Amino acid sequence: MKEYIENFLTELNTEIKKVAWQEIALAIKILYATYEHDGKIFLIGNGGSAAIASHFVNDLNKTVFGQKGEKNVKRFQAISLVDNVSALTAWANDVGFEAVFSEQLKNFAQEKDALVAISSSGNSPNIIKAAETARSLNLPVIGLVGFDGGKLLPLTDAKIHISSSKYAIVESGHDAICHLITTYFEELL
Amino acid sequence: MIITQTPLRISFVGGGTDFENFYRRYPGRVLSTSIDKYFYVGLNSRFDGWIKLNYTQTETVEHRGQIQHPLIKGALEEVGIEKGIDIVSLADLPAQKTGLGLGASSSFTVGLLNGLYAFLGEHKSPEFLAEKACQIEIQKAGSPIGKQDQYATAFGGLNIITFNCGGKINVEPIYLSPQIKEGFQKHLLLFFTGKERSASSILSKQKQNIDKKFEFLKQMSNLVPIFKEALEKGDFQKMGELLHQNWLMKKELASNIANPQIDEMYQSVLRAGAWGGKILGAGGGGFLLVMAPLKNHPNIKGALKDHQLIPFRFSESGSKIVFKS
């Protein structure tokens, strides 16, 4: 059992360390620039990645500033596109599931905003379509991907790529990196 | 209606090596950052087909050929707009007549181009905007300036900009931990000398002197990787000393970069305990940047109490469309 547990933790550690640090730094730069010019940050994902998107929204909006009382007036404007059941089901039912994020994006997106797209396979049609929509609107795209990066990887500006083909490893890695970014902003802002 | 926001910039080391006459012979390098002070350019279409410009002056003209402002005229020619536009500019640190050493003219040109392309429904990369701004300022308007400001303001962030002998220009971001980034900013003070200056007379002289001062410029370019190494280690004292070295060499580039008033200001901050500093931009006036141990900041502020202190922070964003309707 000890070995079983250690194997998982070692594998996770090895895979996270393979992510190019410059890509994480670039993601931080994009998020910071968006914050500076009062842009919104949209987050999307399916299943476990939807949960990561929700969680990261909360960390950007609350955790980064939560301990600072009234001192920091200006905050992140992160918006989860995975949490509105009526919007998701309306677009899924009327148009198709691949439209659920891109259509919500069209309601809100302006050129000064940014998109964070989370997909382990990098091939979810609704994520790809949203990334294409973001690009057509000139938004920078931060990608958190796994496996071989899929079709999403070339659509991203910052490429946070956990190159494992196990969902457990990829999703755990994505979550850890979101916490790294949260910690960075907690310390800086 | 479109509004663009484009940052001003502070350069630390390597300024002057961004002239083509220099970097065609030896790679030029500049380490600079954008700051949270911006140029805003607003553009709107005009129903009567005229052109109206609002900057430090106002121009109302019937067609492009009558425009006085060389950069606006050049930019409109470049994008192919002949008439029917309102252009307004606003800056966080406005200068009455001339520049202040914060890259304002390039910030304006980059922001104007970004807005003009958006006005035509086109989106352009920072690299494209920077290169076009260089063409307008240097080739069309004949400004005796280098190419660092156009790239610094179009890209934004803390970067090393390299001017390669073949003409290619690279922008390489420097990423810092929160502690080093915060520490770097905290150690800096920015004072207004109280003097505006004509950058072009200084820069013309500097440009003529490139052959004579070639060895100094080489050394200034070589300070950039040394400064970067100190920065990544968080060695603020070393960085301050390098700023001082850079300033001593920069003063040699043209006789009018420093003057008795500036020398006196600089000597007084050294006496008050600064590691180093420099006059930003062309020199002759504008802003004095000082790097000093935190414990000496009160002394330094006291020594320069007659000069305005400008609080600022580094910024990450380059030229951006912040409003479009």
Does the beta carbon of B322 lie under 8 angstroms from any beta carbon of chain A? yes
- Residues in chain A with CB shorter than 8 Å from the CB of B182 are 188
pLDDT value of residue B281? 79
B309 within domain boundaries: no
Task: Clarify whether residues B148 and B12 are in a common domain.
Answer: yes
B127 within domain boundaries: yes
What is residue B88's three-state secondary structure?
strand
B310 within domain boundaries: no
Does the beta carbon of B121 lie under 8 angstroms from any beta carbon of chain A? no
Does the beta carbon of A5 lie under 8 angstroms from any beta carbon of chain B? no
Task: Clarify whether residues B183 and B170 are in a common domain.
Answer: no
Task: Clarify whether residues B183 and B320 are in a common domain.
Answer: no
pLDDT value of residue A33? 97
- The phi, psi pair for B136, rounded to 5°, reads -70, -45
- Residues in chain B with CB shorter than 8 Å from the CB of A36 are 36, 315-317
C-beta atoms of B317 and A33 within 8 A? yes
- Residues in chain A with CB shorter than 8 Å from the CB of B157 are 29, 33
Identify the CATH number of the domain in which residue A116 sits. 3.40.50.10490
Q: Indicate if the pLDDT at residue A67 is higher than 70.
A: yes
Task: Clarify whether residues B101 and B146 are in a common domain.
Answer: yes
Residues A169-179 have pLDDT tens digits of 999 999 999 99
Identify the CATH number of the domain in which residue B25 sits. 3.30.230.10
- Residues in chain A with CB shorter than 8 Å from the CB of B324 are 110-111
Task: Clarify whether residues B209 and B130 are in a common domain.
Answer: no
pLDDT value of residue A147? 97
Does the beta carbon of B165 lie under 8 angstroms from any beta carbon of chain A? no
Q: Indicate if the pLDDT at residue A144 is higher than 70.
A: yes
Q: Indicate if the pLDDT at residue A119 is higher than 70.
A: yes
- Residues in chain A with CB shorter than 8 Å from the CB of B36 are 36
Residues B38-60 have pLDDT tens digits of 999 999 999 999 999 999 899 99
**What is the gyration radius of the CA atoms in chain A, in angstroms?**
16
C-beta atoms of B321 and A29 within 8 A? no
DSSP state at residue A60: I
Does the beta carbon of A36 lie under 8 angstroms from any beta carbon of chain B? yes
* Chain A CA closest to residue B34: A33
Does the beta carbon of B318 lie under 8 angstroms from any beta carbon of chain A? yes
What is the domain extent for residue B242? 178-303
Q: How far is B289 from chain A (nearest CA, A)?
A: 23
Q: Indicate if the pLDDT at residue B283 is higher than 80.
A: no
Task: Clarify whether residues B8 and B98 are in a common domain.
Answer: yes
Q: What is the pTM of this model?
A: 0.94
Angle at the Cα of A90 (from A89 to A91), degrees rounded to 5? 95
C-beta atoms of B320 and A38 within 8 A? no
At B101, is the pLDDT very low, low, confident or very high (cuts 50, 70, 90)? confident
Task: Clarify whether residues B160 and B185 are in a common domain.
Answer: no
Task: Domain count for chain B, please give it.
Answer: 2
Task: Clarify whether residues B120 and B218 are in a common domain.
Answer: no
pLDDT value of residue B284? 75
pLDDT value of residue B96? 62
B238 near B223, Cβ under 8 Å?
A: no
- Residues in chain B with CB shorter than 8 Å from the CB of A28 are 175
Percent of chain B at pLDDT > 70 equals 97
H/E run at residue B41: strand B28-45
CB neighbour list of residue A129: distance below 8 Å, 6 or more residues apart: A98, A99, A101, A102
Of B157, B173, B178, the CB nearest to A187: B178
Helices B178-186 + B236-251 axis angle, to 10: 50
pLDDT value of residue B34? 98
Task: Domain count for chain A, please give it.
Answer: 1
Task: Clarify whether residues B8 and B139 are in a common domain.
Answer: yes
Task: Clarify whether residues B129 and B222 are in a common domain.
Answer: no
Task: Clarify whether residues B207 and B262 are in a common domain.
Answer: yes
* Mean pLDDT on A84-94: 97
* Chain A CA closest to residue B36: A36
Does the beta carbon of A87 lie under 8 angstroms from any beta carbon of chain B? no
Does the beta carbon of A90 lie under 8 angstroms from any beta carbon of chain B? no
For testing the chain B interface, which of A21, A28, A29, A157 should be mutated: the one with the most B CBs within 10 Å? Answer: A29
Output the CA torsion sign for B25, B131, B227, B201. Answer: positive
What is the domain extent for residue A43? 2-188
Instruction: Return d(Cα A130, Cα A102) in angstroms, integer.
Output: 4
Identify the CATH number of the domain in which residue B219 sits. 3.30.70.890
B285 near B197, Cβ under 8 Å?
A: yes
- Residues in chain A with CB shorter than 8 Å from the CB of B173 are 25-26, 29
Residues B254-279 have pLDDT tens digits of 877 778 888 999 999 999 999 999 99
B276 near B223, Cβ under 8 Å?
A: no
A130-139, B32-41, B205-214: segment of lowest average pLDDT: B205-214
Instruction: Return d(Cα A79, Cα A42) in angstroms, integer.
Output: 5
The interface predicted TM-score of the complex, written ipTM, equals 0.92
pLDDT value of residue B99? 67
Q: Indicate if the pLDDT at residue B202 is higher than 80.
A: no
C-beta atoms of B318 and A33 within 8 A? yes
B190 within domain boundaries: yes
At B98, is the pLDDT very low, low, confident or very high (cuts 50, 70, 90)? low
Q: Indicate if the pLDDT at residue B89 is higher than 70.
A: yes
Average pLDDT, chain A: 96
C-beta atoms of A111 and B321 within 8 A? yes
**Cβ within 8 Å of A, B 180-209:** 181-182
Task: Clarify whether residues B155 and B90 are in a common domain.
Answer: yes
Q: How far is A107 from chain B (nearest CA, A)?
A: 14
At B8, is the pLDDT very low, low, confident or very high (cuts 50, 70, 90)? very high
Q: How far is A159 from chain B (nearest CA, A)?
A: 16
CB neighbour list of residue B21: distance below 8 Å, 6 or more residues apart: B207, B210, B211
Percent of chain B at pLDDT > 90 equals 82
C-beta atoms of B157 and A33 within 8 A? yes
A70-84, A85-99, B307-321: segment of lowest average pLDDT: A70-84
B308 within domain boundaries: no
